[in-house]
Amino acid sequence: MSSLALRDNEQSGLMARWSRSRHRWSDVLFRRLTACFALSILILLVWMLITLALNARQALARFGWGFLWGRTWDPVREQFGALPFVYGTIVSSTLALCIAVPLSLGVAIFLSEHAPRGWENVVAFLVDTLAAIPSVIYGLWGIFILSPALRNYIEPWLASTFGFLPLFQGPPYGIGMLAGGIILAIMVLPIITAVSRDVLQAVPNTQREAALSLGATRWETTRVVLAHARAGLTGAVILGLGRAIGETMAVTMVIGNRPEISYSLFDPSYTIASVIANEFNEATYELYVQALIELGLILFLVTLIVNAVARLLVWSVTRRTREVQRV
Amino acid sequence: MIDPLRYRKVVNGVMTGATFICALAVLAILFAILGYIVAQGIAALNIDFLTKLPKPVGESGGGIAHAIVGSMLLIGIAILLGLPSGILAGLYLAEFGKNKLGRFIEFVTDILAGTPSIIVGIFAYTLIVLPMKRFSAFAGGAALALIMIPIITRTTQEIIQLVPQTLREGALALGAPQWRVTLGVVLRSAAGGVATGVMLAIARVAGETAPLLFTALGSHHWSTALDRPVASLTVTIYDYAKAPYDDWHAQAWAGALVLVMMIGMTNLAVRLFTHSRYSGTHP
Amino acid sequence: MMTKAKLAMPVNLLEKSTAEPMKRPALDSKVTIEQLNFFYGPVQVLFDISLTMPSRRVTAFIGPSGCGKSTLLRTLNRMNDIIPHARLQGRVKIDGTDIYQTGMDVVRLRQRVGMIFQKSNPFPRSIFENVAYGLRINQLVRSRRELDERVEQALQQAALWDEVKDRLKESAFGLSGGQQQRLCIARALAIRPDVILMDEPASALDPIATQKIEELIVRLKEEYTVVIVTHNMQQAARVSDHTAFFWMGRLIEFDPTEKMFTKPAHQMTEDYITGRFG
């Protein structure tokens, strides 16, 4: 099968050359046309970057790098510091990963190593379903179901059990960093699970056989598989990070939207994406809008880098395996 | 002294159990969310809700028909704008993209698909809303199209790569020019797969809120004009959820149920379709 | 270390790992297969196989591809267990113990029955760690020094020590194909199994690497019972003492190799050996 696919690739390359040698103008035109559309994706990305930068140029010129360190966000006094949002984005994403990564890896291992045949597809379908639920509905659920539960049960319990930590101090609002982190965790679960599962399934079976034949138990075999897939699993987690950083609606609805830095996870916070969602339409003067677009530019650049790194890591595993299988 | 093998087997059992519990926990979360949507949504769901306009604040009843229509309008615009370029770009990647440029574009497409949708919203705002000096359905649809393009491109590419080479050879051997082979034979034989890719993209953008906030904005009235703000299910749910009225909250849940059912049915159709046609291959 | 009562096998691992292996009578039967039938789902792939493999000898399984020889080999360490819908009837006995009986410990079985695969499959670790893997997980060594000794010993048995002794810390993927396969043999030898199963171990190698592996196999039978699957009849003739010829899931002939290749009892065997089909 794989050797067949390889042959196909070679042949389509050959065929492309063959058609060029015939110089049939219609074929050349067709090829160029589709190439234009493919290139337009690349152009689009660059165009987006330039547009955002141009529309934030006054803010960029005025605040410089200090924008990132400024702690005060007060549009009334024309003070724009991004630090509370940067902090909120980093902490909420980290919290989300702390919750989601162990769960996702557990599910991915279950699906690729342990699940009985019939189960595998059903469970994978249900986990994918989680990915199909729109962000705004997670937000709705967060406001009316999750945050009351946090306020009435979970946060008081955390405060009484781990209250000595600065993370769990202060009044339990329900709405706040913890709610944001939990919602994000649920939202990035499916992508981390799906990519991890792909990566684990790409590990050649010969590795599992090698471990088993040496007297390894199932779990010990799984550890061999995990070691083999390490780069790809890291990629899956970083892909999840990219999603968590850019996620907007659900977080906006539950994180409390207060531009302050607080150690307690119970306190309201704010992320880059949610401040844009909340204040963009209310931004009353040019510099305010530009400051928000500059936040967008920062978010865009960070997610670009994060996604690029993740993609390369995932490819490094799945492609390498494909090559090995071809030999 | 503990038998080391027994210890290893205990570890094995515990870890296997732990992965099983992870799976159960995730399913429990899924059912907790879906269960609440159904339970809360059904209460406010009735024919009026689906066919009437919202009532003024304070009056009960009314519906979100304008938002359902608005969402469909936005998705329609997105399909018109995004479908052709997505499919043609996917064709290029599948048929001519086995080179450095092709792989790089593939990479960029994946990255673009991971861009936060709110960024796409800002882009569409600066590109369309600012020059037109008004929020519009067109701007919203364009933003959704930008989100659709990378998804359609990659699914089209993957489906077309599954078309057997013999099919192309057969047609080429008859002396047909390559573009006719690609469009008439390859694309047609992959049409079902491409259609499911498009449906997946539709399901994805149907749930988008962030890119519509400052493009299509939202509305409380009937509107199908392309150059006017238009309501959408997602933005309506967002507005209702934030509002301080219990009535609106109930309607937000009902809207969520409608949206989830629309998306769920699309996904289910895709899954049934891909299963019967391409069983064994990844959709 | 291990309680004797728990051990399903009559031979104690401890004894084997410390003392010099005892010389047993040459034709002591080691592995016995009795009336074995094997199915993948509804498809039967092995039919009523009965076969006795002697201790400290090399037994080769030959036959055209798809004849079930690899499947049969994999029943000997229950490697088919991981294949869904695989089903087995009949008995496989090692040293008289049915390895498919309920309560049989598969992990312990596989410690005693090592396996080498068609394609070398080293772990993405250093050369040293590859060989040490089985020793570590099975906790067969008590100290770092013992570990070093047993790794060296295994590499020497696999005729690889001289080539890798200066780069034990380097990745196993840096080795050539033949070296990787011998590393996998060393990895299997390190935990001191009784039986070694080889599934076309040289099919992916060049002639020189193949020759090294063959020499190794011949030497291994001094201490181990070796079962090798091969599609290469010359190889079977060169390395094995007994040969079993399979066709369409059935055992056609099982004889001393010399007899099999000089005057086979069956017309079909002769046709296959002389290249008239297959």
Q: What is the mean pLDDT of residues B49-69?
A: 88
pLDDT band at B282 (very low <50, low <70, confident <90, very high): very low
pLDDT band at B269 (very low <50, low <70, confident <90, very high): confident
For residues B147 and B77, is the Cβ–Cβ distance under 8 A?
no
Cβ-nearest to A228 among C119, C124, C191: C124
Query: Any idea which of A216-225, B60-69, B109-118, B135-144 has the lowest mean pLDDT?
Result: B60-69
Chain C residue numbers touching B3 (CB-CB < 8 A): 2-3, 6
Q: What is the mean pLDDT of residues A299-305?
A: 96
> ipTM of the assembly?
0.92
For residues C225 and C53, is the Cβ–Cβ distance under 8 A?
yes
Residue A252, pLDDT score: 96
Residue C103, pLDDT score: 86
Give the chains touching B; criterion: ≥3 Cβ pairs < 8 Å: A, C
C-alpha span between C125 and C183 (Å, rounded): 12
pLDDT band at B164 (very low <50, low <70, confident <90, very high): confident
Helices (H), C49-165: 69-75, 106-112, 127-137, 144-157, 161-164
C-alpha span between A315 and B107 (Å, rounded): 10
Q: Domain-by-domain residue ranges, chain A?
A: 2-55, 67-326
Which site among A117, A121, A208, A214 would you substitute to test the C interface, given the most C Cβ atoms closer than 10 Å to its Cβ? A214
**Region class of A134: left (phi > 0), else alpha (psi between -120 and 50), else beta:** beta
For residues C190 and C135, is the Cβ–Cβ distance under 8 A?
yes
Q: What is the mean pLDDT of residues C27-32?
A: 82
Nearest CA among C16, C9, C44 for reference residue C30 = C9
Coil, strand or helix: which one is C45?
A: strand
Instruction: Record the tokens describing residue C16, joined without a space.
Output: 């084997």
DSSP string, A213-268: HTT--HHHHHHHHHHHTHHHHHHHHHHHHHHHHH--HHHHHHSB------S-TTS-
Nearest-CA distance C234 → chain A (Å): 25
Q: Which CATH architecture fits C27-273?
A: 3-Layer(aba) Sandwich (3.40)
Q: Does C139 touch chain B (CB under 8 A)?
A: yes
The pair phi, psi for residue B244, each rounded to 5°, is -90, 20
C-alpha span between B186 and B159 (Å, rounded): 10
Q: Does C137 touch chain B (CB under 8 A)?
A: yes
Residue C15, pLDDT score: 38
Nearest-CA distance C120 → chain A (Å): 8
Residue B278, pLDDT score: 45
Q: Does A8 touch chain B (CB under 8 A)?
A: yes
Q: Residues C142-192: pLDDT tens digits? A: 999 999 999 999 999 999 999 999 999 999 999 999 999 999 999 999 999
pLDDT band at C23 (very low <50, low <70, confident <90, very high): very low
Chain A residue numbers touching C138 (CB-CB < 8 A): 214-215
Q: Which H helix or E strand runs over C49?
A: strand C43-54
Q: Does C85 touch chain B (CB under 8 A)?
A: no
**Region class of A217: left (phi > 0), else alpha (psi between -120 and 50), else beta:** beta
The interaxial angle of helices A272-279 and A286-326, nearest 10 deg, is 140
For residues A273 and A247, is the Cβ–Cβ distance under 8 A?
yes
Amino acid at residue number A212: L
Tell me if B5 and C2 make a contact (CB, 8 A cut-off): yes
At residue A7, does pLDDT exceed 60? no
Residues facing C62 on adjacent strands: C245
Give the chain B residue nearest C140 (alpha carbons): B4
Q: What is the DSSP letter of B243?
A: S
Cβ-nearest to B95 among A12, A218, A239: A12
Chain B residue numbers touching C12 (CB-CB < 8 A): none
The pair phi, psi for residue A74, each rounded to 5°, is -140, 90
Residue A320, pLDDT score: 60
Q: Does A224 touch chain C (CB under 8 A)?
A: yes
Q: Residues A58-79: pLDDT tens digits? A: 999 999 999 999 999 999 999 9
Which site among B107, B123, B163, B208 would you substitute to test the A interface, given the most A Cβ atoms closer than 10 Å to its Cβ? B123
C-alpha span between C62 and C273 (Å, rounded): 10
Coil, strand or helix: which one is B26?
A: helix
At residue C19, does pLDDT exceed 70? no
Tell me if A213 and C188 make a contact (CB, 8 A cut-off): yes
Which site among A112, A117, A213, A323 would you substitute to test the C interface, given the most C Cβ atoms closer than 10 Å to its Cβ? A213
Q: What is the mean pLDDT of residues B266-278?
A: 73
C-alpha span between C34 and B210 (Å, rounded): 69
Q: B2 vs C274, which has greater pLDDT?
A: C274
Q: Domain-by-domain residue ranges, chain C?
A: 27-273
Coil, strand or helix: which one is B42?
A: helix
Chosen CATH of A67-326 out of 3.20.20.140, 3.40.50.720, 1.10.540.10, 1.10.3720.10? 1.10.3720.10
Q: Does C6 touch chain B (CB under 8 A)?
A: yes
Nearest-CA distance C165 → chain A (Å): 23
Tell me if A215 and C138 make a contact (CB, 8 A cut-off): yes
Enumerate residues 6+ apart whose C-beta is below 8 A from C218.
Answer: C58, C239
Chain C residue numbers touching B9 (CB-CB < 8 A): 107
C-alpha span between C100 and C93 (Å, rounded): 8
Question: CB pairs below 8 Å between B and C: how many?
Answer: 15
Tell me if B207 and A29 make a contact (CB, 8 A cut-off): no
At residue A104, does pLDDT exceed 50? yes
Q: Does B5 touch chain C (CB under 8 A)?
A: yes
Q: At which residue do the structure tokens 């405060």 appear? A: A159
Q: Which H helix or E strand runs over A324?
A: helix A286-326
Instruction: Record the tokens describing residue B16, joined without a space.
Output: 């296997």
Q: Does C125 touch chain B (CB under 8 A)?
A: no
Give the chains touching C; criterion: ≥3 Cβ pairs < 8 Å: A, B
pLDDT band at A22 (very low <50, low <70, confident <90, very high): low
Helices (H), chain B: 4-44, 47-51, 65-95, 100-113, 117-124, 130-132, 137-161, 165-173, 178-180, 187-189, 191-206, 210-213, 233-242, 246-277
Average pLDDT, chain A: 89
Residue B171, pLDDT score: 82
Coil, strand or helix: which one is C212?
A: helix
Q: Does A143 touch chain B (CB under 8 A)?
A: yes
The pair phi, psi for residue C171, each rounded to 5°, is -65, 140
DSSP string, A6-69: HHHHHHHHHHHHHHHHHT-HHHHHHHHHHHHHHHHHHHHHHHHHHHHHHHTHHHHHHHTTHHHH
